[in-house]
Amino acid sequence: MVRLLQTGYPDAHCELDFTTPLELLVAVVLSAQTTDKGVNLATPALFRRYRTAEDYASADRTELEELIRSTGFYRNKANSLLGLGAALVERFDGEVPSKLEDLVTLPGVGRKTANVVLGDAFGVPGITVDTHLGRLVRRWGWTTEEDPVKVEHAVGAMIERKDWTLFNHRTIFHGRRVCHAKKPACGACFLAPQCPSYGIGEVDPDKAAKLVKGDEAPHLIELADRVRAGERLG
């Protein structure tokens, strides 16, 4: 399944826009309870205004809240960003740390956020158990655990460490495009032969194809057609 995901999503990546570890950290904090697309609409102006940890630490709350209002829960998120900036200045010389044990001490940063930053800003392999990854690995029968940390360890034990970050992105891509929470496109899924949960969603190929989202939809539907015809992928 890891190999097939690579075939399905060769260009999978973090869908939050960023250029520095600080920008990614801020973007992930803002992504709580909203979409990556929504965050990407808000961050250009935010990143132009606040370029360093010191900028966030000394930010005017009203101005900061207005810049991130569209991401929802903006007061709580502003608290996190103000505290994040102050903590980075006070304890890490204004730089985003590159160790998990340091990242999780920062305001608004949990293990999930830390793993995203480690994997995509510092190249340190990590598994980020968001709602998509957790849902999919349970549907695939890889684990029955619900606790994100236990899921992280269970999945990490099954695949090579070097593959963790890309596996994470490819699984999230699959969850957003094919294996939806409410109505997965089972009949247009190239993982169908390996999936013990096949049939919980739409199995008719034509109807399922209409459920596939994203620019990759034609490619994904083609792969599913090839698998249904008996072709071995990867």
Q: Would you say residue 234 has pLDDT above 80?
A: no
Predicted confidence band at 161 (pLDDT cuts at 50, 70, 90)?
Answer: very high
The pLDDT, as a whole number, for residue 90 is: 98
b/e burial code for range 54-86 (CB count within 10 A of at least 16 → b): ebbbebeeeebbebbeebeebeebbbbbbbbbb
Q: Is the Cβ–Cβ distance between 126 and 119 less than 8 Å?
A: yes
Residue whose structure tokens are 């940890």: 53
Predicted confidence band at 76 (pLDDT cuts at 50, 70, 90)?
Answer: very high
Mean pLDDT throughout 108-119? 94
Cα 52-24-63 angle, rounded to 5 deg: 50
Residue whose structure tokens are 């990546």: 13
Give yes or no: 112 in active site. Answer: yes
- Distance CA(116)–CA(130), nearest Å, equals 10
Mean pLDDT throughout 146-161? 96
DSSP assignment letter at 164? H
Predicted confidence band at 108 (pLDDT cuts at 50, 70, 90)?
Answer: confident
Give the list of residues 6+ apart from residue 148 with CB closer than 8 angstroms, or none. Answer: 111, 112, 129, 134
Give the list of residues 6+ apart from residue 197 with CB closer than 8 angstroms, or none. Answer: 139, 140, 141, 184
Q: Is the Cβ–Cβ distance between 194 and 220 less than 8 Å?
A: no
Give yes or no: 150 in active site. Answer: no
The pLDDT, as a whole number, for residue 132 is: 94
In percent, the amount of the chain with pLDDT more than 70 equals: 100
- Name the active-site residue from 36, 55, 102, 130: 130
Mean pLDDT throughout 151-163? 96
The pLDDT, as a whole number, for residue 214 is: 94
Which pair of structure tokens corresponds to residue 191? Answer: 């993982």
Q: What is the pLDDT of residues 28-38, one digit of tens each?
A: 999 999 999 99
- Distance CA(209)–CA(202), nearest Å, equals 9
Torsion, Cα 106 175 222 195, to 10 degrees, reads 120
- Distance CA(88)–CA(232), nearest Å, equals 50
Q: Is the Cβ–Cβ distance between 27 and 39 less than 8 Å?
A: yes
